[in-house]
Structure 1
Amino acid sequence: MPLVPTGELIAQARAARRAVAAFNVITLEHAEAIAAGAERTGAPAILQISENAVRFHGGDLSAIAAAASAVARGSTAPLGLHLDHVVSRDLLHAAYAEGFGSVMFDASKRPYGDNVKATAEAVRWGHERGMWVEAELGRIGGKDGEPPLDAHTPGVRTDPAEAAAYVADTGVDALAVAVGSTHAMTTRTATLDHTLIAALRDAVPVPLVLHGSSGVPDPELRAAVAAGMTKINIGTALNTAFTGAVRAFLDADADAGASTVDPRKYLVPAREAMTGTVAHFLTVLG
């Protein structure tokens, strides 16, 4: 199936008052699991590659992008391809050259004025080339090894009035907001501020994005979508499933006195574990 533009998947979900899940791709097995999980549930999904993942692949976007794109195009599910948490302008430009139709430009760690200026420039550049651009306002935390942030810390959560001004001044197509989740959580214990989500939904004219969704329990995710979230980002949950399956295989292998060296033996259960995780989240999101 041809790739479906991220903006189109988001618009369809928003019109139906539902959400689209966006899963982070690190390896080929991640991409295959996302496609398989979407096919299993009959739901659309977005394959997204972060700047961290590109760095892991030697700083070269082309190979992992080609792999993810090939998996998505070979799937029977409606899938999009998105570049996530881009800080580098060079990578932003490379994304367009590699055929990405959407990108999340991340200037959230900069002071507010610098964030607005840098994001507005990225949006102008992207829109001139037909790209859909997401950005972030507030501090979600847990990215690049930083500790999770207490959602009650002043200045952490996204302010609706500031969000409205930010969207107007930057022209972004979607806004990732801080409402109680954090990146890289391995336990699903986050509590979201659903009143704030609804206030943000009413304050800004663009779709809202929830980052750090791996740490959010199923009922909280459903409530977040009902309150106004449209794009749900999931990454760590796939890595947890992957690593858990590999560890279980190797532990059982050692207990049996074996010494498997063929990675396919443990990558198969790892990929299947991720597929199950993808299918679970897609089912939760309806």
Structure 2
Amino acid sequence: MLCRSADLIAEARASGTGIAALNVITLEHAEAVAAAAEATGLPAIVQISQNAVRYHGGDVLPLASAVAALAEAGAARLALHLDHVEDVELLHRTAECGASSVMFDASRMPDAENVAATRRAAQWAHANGLFVEAELGEIGGKGSAHTPGVRTDPGDAARFVEETGVDALAVAVGSSHAMVSRTASLDLELIARIHEAVPVPLVLHGSSGVPHATLRAAVAHGMTKVNIGTLLNVAFTDAVRAGLREAPEAVDPRRYLSAARAAVAAAVAECLTTVTSAAPATAP
């Protein structure tokens, strides 16, 4: 069933566990997430990034409609979220495409402009019944929230949330986007400090590079929403490569895409179980 992101996030936060948010690019990705959620009985947030929309010719509706149809057709609890949206026009299509939440990303802007733009985005989102996530940008020349080596200051995070009115905050605690090896080390003590300082759910981006045991620890220390994308793409691509090695004469994409979909489903199932099985954190 198609659920609201706000409800799934609130449920996870209240129980002190986490909610996995999986980025999808193709229909096979989306089918794999739905299958994994059905198999495990666990909820999931399905995310479509602005980059994925650009890949599909700039129109969010085809892939978003497919995700919504998959959710409505199954028993798994799925929510649809637009991720890393920088374009205001795409932001304003959030509700139209069936998504109940959006991550508005103005982190490339100077801090004051980021705050102002994010505040406007949050006001628009709330007026339309949507949940909005954001992240800090460049503060004191330190780079964006997910520049390698950058760490979010709890005071800066609290100020940003107060000034923008966002519903969730992505924070920098040691992960990086697009990692293909699971070698990231998170600052768990910092997660706990930010959790104490910030009144909204925390979001971990770049979780594909984080070992499962560390993801569980991050949730136990106060992380709620855990974004995972590259890990799915690695599973997908590895399965395609293996299929074509075994049958180099294959021309029917169903022969290797079905294996890719199954590999992604297995990876997603493991992620869902990991994120929702963490020891409870204490909600503020």
Contact 2:148 2:175 in 1 (8 A): no
TM-score (norm 2): 0.93
Q: 2:193 maps to what in 1? A: 199
Superposition deviation, residue 96 in structure 1: 2.2
Percent identity over the alignment? 60
Q: What SS does the corresponding residue of 2:169 show, helix, strand or coil?
A: strand
Structure 1 range deviating more: 103-112 or 5-14: 103-112
Contact 1:140 1:181 in 2 (8 A): no
Work out the CA distance in 2 between the residues paired with 1:99 and 1:73.
11
Q: What SS does the corresponding residue of 2:176 show, helix, strand or coil?
A: coil
Structure 1 range deviating more: 108-117 or 207-216: 108-117
What are the Cα deviations for residues 150-182 of structure 1, in whole angstroms up to 9, with x where unaligned? Answer: 32xxxx211100111100000000000010000
What are the Cα deviations for residues 129-161 of structure 1, in whole angstroms up to 9, with x where unaligned? Answer: 1110000125344xxxxxxx432xxxx211100
Q: 1:175 maps to what in 2? A: 169
Q: 2:116 maps to what in 1? A: 117
Q: 1:270 maps to what in 2? A: 260
Structure 1 segment 19-98 matched on structure 2, within 5 A: 19-98=18-97
Work out the CA distance in 2 between the residues paired with 1:39 and 1:210.
24
Q: 2:140 maps to what in 1? A: none
2:158 matched to 1:160? no
Work out the CA distance in 2 between the residues paired with 1:249 and 1:178.
37
What runs of 5+ residues in structure 1 fail to find an aligned partner?
142-148
Q: What SS does the corresponding residue of 1:95 show, helix, strand or coil?
A: coil
Contact 1:38 1:279 in 2 (8 A): yes
Q: 2:148 maps to what in 1? A: 150
The one-letter amino acid paired with 1:276 is: A
Choose from 238, 245, 260 the match for 2:250.
260
Q: What SS does the corresponding residue of 1:237 show, helix, strand or coil?
A: helix
Q: Structure 1 runs of 4+ off > 6 angstroms?
A: none
Contact 2:104 2:118 in 1 (8 A): yes
Question: What RMSD in Å do the two structures reach over aligned CA positions?
Answer: 0.9
Work out the CA distance in 2 between the residues paired with 1:42 and 1:57.
30
Superposition deviation, residue 11 in structure 1: 0.3
Work out the CA distance in 2 between the residues paired with 1:150 and 1:268.
35
The one-letter amino acid paired with 2:213 is: P
Q: 2:226 maps to what in 1? A: 232
The one-letter amino acid paired with 2:273 is: T
Work out the CA distance in 2 between the residues paired with 1:140 and 1:130.
27
Q: 1:134 maps to what in 2? A: 133
Work out the CA distance in 1 between the residues paired with 2:111 and 2:56.
31
Contact 1:194 1:224 in 2 (8 A): yes
Work out the CA distance in 2 between the residues paired with 1:69 and 1:25.
13
TM-score (norm 1): 0.93
Q: What SS does the corresponding residue of 2:170 show, helix, strand or coil?
A: strand
Tell me which of the two structures has the higher relative contact order, counting C-alpha pairs closer than 8 angstroms and 6 or more residues apart.
2
Work out the CA distance in 2 between the residues paired with 1:178 and 1:280.
24
Contact 1:190 1:215 in 2 (8 A): yes
Contact 2:145 2:152 in 1 (8 A): no
Superposition deviation, residue 79 in structure 1: 0.8
Structure 1 range deviating more: 91-100 or 57-66: 91-100
Contact 1:181 1:191 in 2 (8 A): yes
Q: 2:184 maps to what in 1? A: 190
Contact 1:25 1:49 in 2 (8 A): yes
Contact 1:140 1:180 in 2 (8 A): no
2:269 matched to 1:279? yes
What are the Cα deviations for residues 217-261 of structure 1, in whole angstroms up to 9, with x where unaligned? Answer: 01110110000000000000000000000000101113xxxx110
The one-letter amino acid paired with 1:51 is: Q
Q: 1:5 maps to what in 2? A: 4
Superposition deviation, residue 40 in structure 1: 1.3
Q: What SS does the corresponding residue of 2:30 show, helix, strand or coil?
A: helix
Work out the CA distance in 1 between the residues paired with 2:38 and 2:4.
18
Contact 1:24 1:47 in 2 (8 A): yes
Superposition deviation, residue 97 in structure 1: 2.0
Q: 2:15 maps to what in 1? A: 16
Contact 2:182 2:208 in 1 (8 A): yes
